[in-house]
A and B are shown apart, each in its own frame.
Chain A
Amino acid sequence: MTASDPAGTAMWATVWKLLRLRLRININSFRHSRTRTKIFTTLGLLGLLSFAVVIFLLSWEMLRFLRSPQLSRYTTIDSAALLQAITPLVMTGLFFGILFTSFGVLLQALYLAGDMDFLLAAPVPMRAVFISKLTQAILPNLGLFALFGLPVLYGLGASEGYNFLYYPLVLVVISALTFAAAGAAALLVMAVVRIMRPRRAAEILGFIGATAGIICSQLGNLSQTLGHRAGNPPALLGGASFVALRLETPWLPLNWAGQSLMDLGAGQWLSGLLLLALTIGWTSGLFWLSLVFAERLYYAGWAGMQVVMRRSGKLAVGSRFRGAEGNLSWPERFLAAPIRAIMQKDFTLLRRDLRNLTQLISPLIIGAALTFSFLRRGAGAFTGGTELPSAFMQSFQPFLSFENAAIALFVGWLLLGRMAGMSFSREGRNFWVLKASPISPRQLLAAKFLGAYLPGICAGYLFLIATSLVHRPLPGQLLFMAVVIGASLAALNSILISFGVAGANFTWDDPRRMNAGGIGCLGQIVSLLFLPFSLLLFAGPVLMAVFLNLPPGYGYAAGLLLGVSGSLAGMLVPLLLVQSRVQRLDES
């Protein structure tokens, strides 16, 4: 940059330079990645492109179907109005989608990436830095949106027979909306960072994102359980139509974008151009204002003020973490101080670090959804709707409790997969604290075992209690199932911990990369295979007793003997195998 350069040219040249730098970093990352990663990335991109083509064809056909006269015979939907609402709906979705997704990316780019000081200290225009950061935040999300939204909009254009101008203008309008959304997201980031530390904001965002994702994925299953609209396309269409028509109001600026495209596509030039001008106007204004404010707030240190405010919010944890003086509680009498300390530390961090909680949220929600659908099926699930004689069905009654146990074990396994499988990796770069301390591998394994087992067994027992309230098993059966669950989960826990030790990774920065290797995945598979085996050891003798007409007590006793022995072996052998490895962890 020289003094003779006009300021604007220098700024755009810098933006281009910074974007090229980002591109270079991405190319280098790809070039230096493993061959396997390169292949998967290339295949993934090709897959996404194919997916976009499929969506285009599907939306084309779908939109033609919406206009078909046959549809109106079966539903009361105003398909013409619905078609009119699609473009504004997609545009509104785009705006809010980019707003929310850019929030996370900008939080990372502005406050967590650590390159802002470096860039702002260089002799480059500050605006160029902000524009390049916003563009970097937008591009991946825009790409993702283009993959799903563009085929729908182009499919709509093709099915409606819009003129050629519609297609490039879709890109222009999408870009305008995207920049406006990203600008608003930048301001939102600064407002949030004003009240909490960026890393905490990122943790909360990750937690909300993960929870929302899992809840959405489970909603489909639950709606099927509830027998709602999932299996009822006319009702579904009716609901979509209702939402779309509610949103279609001329007073919403977001609707101007979609309406302008449709008007221009249909050759209504006056209204189309007017709405387009309005759209470009408000989006550019919002983007520019956001940019100017964001720059000023960042430079003035407004968003950094929370560092001063932080001090007021102290954690009243000293007494909770451990009572100062007083009598020993029962776990303190039985467990050595280092084991207790590690368990207590793990539980505290699990509760306090949202990144850990994010890892646990999926098994918990899946478990809750499973419990709900299982309970909804009710007591007649096993025997209901059958024409078989009741005496025959009565003989199957013992297995009903095994069904409860199997699902309780599955819920426990889901939780253990995260708790036990990652118990060592979760230490991350802090592992040196444990490694430099005088703790034996046996103590460390015991602490990690108990730290994962207790929440796992609590989840399993909660499920057992919930299902027992519906199925009302005999007290003896309930006790038997409690042993099945307790013993089997102990073995599953050991297997998962052992694989966790073998594949321990202490160098992660992003908790999602804790189990980067394939060993953790192998642990999940092996433990999942052990689950039916363990159940068979308990249930096999009971089954045999029924078929051999022996008293059921014999079957249960033999089942307990076999099952508990198998589980004990499953619990001890893996831990013994990895005990020496624990001593050498983090030495590579």
Chain B
Amino acid sequence: MSLIETTGLVKRYGDKLAVDDVSFDVRAGEIFGFLGPNGAGKTTTIKIIVGLLRPSAGSVKVGGYDVQLQPLAAKAASGYVPDTPNLYAKLTGRELLRFVGDLYNLDRKTTVHRTEDLLHMFDLTNAADDTIDSYSHGMQQKTALAAALMHDPKVLVLDEPTVGLDPKSARLIKDILRQMADRGTAVFLSTHILEIAERMCDRIGIIDRGRLIAVGTIEELRSLGKSGQSSLEDIFLGLTGGAEEAEIAEILK
């Protein structure tokens, strides 16, 4: 069962085509990695999926609901962690989670219990009554993830979730995502860390200059690349193009 379904997604900013005819789906219980060079259109695609941006053409369904036609139902089904966790700096971590619980219409008891559970799980209990502006980047990232998990979403969308996290927190997030997927959640994440994508993701999509140039499992992607390209890094660079060794040597000379 597909929990994210994009069809012919297009996003134009004036003359610039940020996303060009992107179609894919993410099934329940699946972790889908979304890779691409800087400026390829990853964040734009993610923002369209979670309803932060309106596509110029095409459609997105989240949890079976069209994001444009049934935005409230689609948003209620999804949780989102942005690449930069801009959170209300003068709220405490606990207040933010309770606020999010109310936004998603959780009942009072559930909100309170879920808040405490998540604070404990992310090792934020000691800092729960400090305002967020005193948190480190990693703590803010964990708070954003806790907020996204408050309503136990069917679809989890994460933009660079492990940036700025220490190894322990990064491992925790990876474990959480795996468990969420095992429980039937569709996890969609963008990352630049190819090792994470290779080890965690069931399927991977590669976007370059707005176009989805490859989708599939690691094995399927290997078959697309040149012979001898066994690692995801080689496949990725082979598909998107990277600086050649001679060029690097010339610059560093």
Contacts and interface: CB of A to CB of B under 8 A. Distances in A.
A199 interface: yes
Contact of B129 (A310, A317, A428, A583): A317
Contacts of A440: 72
Nearest to A199: B133
Interface stretch (A107-115, A129-137, A431-439): A431-439
Contact of A317 (B53, B95, B106): B95
B53 A587 contact: yes
Given A337-B102, A337-B105, A436 B92 contact: no
Interface in A324-367: 324-325, 336-338, 340-342, 344-345, 348-349, 352-353
B103 A318 contact: no
A336 B107 CA distance: 11
Given A318-B95, A429-B86, A438 B102 contact: no
A588 to B, nearest CB: 9
B90 interface: yes
A259 to B, nearest CB: 48
A436 B76 CA distance: 9
A584 B103 contact: no
A314 B76 contact: no
B130 A435 contact: no
Contact of B131 (A352, A437, A587): A352
A341 B131 CA distance: 17
Interface residues of B, number: 41
Contact of A583 (B71, B130, B134, B147): B71
B116 to A, nearest CB: 10
Contact of B88 (A325, A349, A587): A349
B18 interface: no
Interface string B93-112: 01100111011111011001
Contact of B90 (A349, A429, A434, A586): A349
Nearest to A318: B94
B92 A318 contact: yes
A391 interface: no
A438 B50 contact: no
B172 interface: no
Nearest to A200: B133
B87 interface: yes
Contact of B82 (A325, A432, A584): A432
Interface of B: 50-54, 71-73, 75-76, 78, 80, 82, 84, 86-92, 94-95, 98-100, 102-106, 108-109, 112, 128-131, 133-134, 147
10 contacts: A199-B133, A315-B92, A318-B92, A338-B102, A340-B102, A429-B86, A432-B52, A433-B147, A436-B50, A438-B72
